[in-house]
Amino acid sequence: MSGSSSSGRSYMGGLSISDEPEECMEIKGSVRVVSPTMTYFSTVLINTTLEVVLSDAIVVLLNHETGDEVGSLNPSNITKLKECLEQGYKYEANIYNKDGASIDVQLTCIGKK
Domain boundaries, the chain: 32-112
Q: What is the CA radius of gyration of the chain?
A: 17
Residue 61: in which H helix or E strand, if any? Answer: strand 58-63
C-alpha pair distances (Å), 49 with each of 42, 65, 92, 113: 16, 10, 7, 18
Q: How far apart are alpha carbons 52 and 31 in whole angstroms?
A: 12
pLDDT value of residue 20: 58
pLDDT digits (tens), the chain, 113 positions: 444 333 333 333 333 333 456 899 999 999 999 988 877 777 788 999 999 999 999 999 998 888 889 999 999 999 999 999 999 999 999 999 998 778 999 999 999 98
Instruction: State the fold for domain 32-112.
Output: OB fold (Dihydrolipoamide Acetyltransferase, E2P) (2.40.50)
DSSP state of 100: T
- pTM equals 0.77
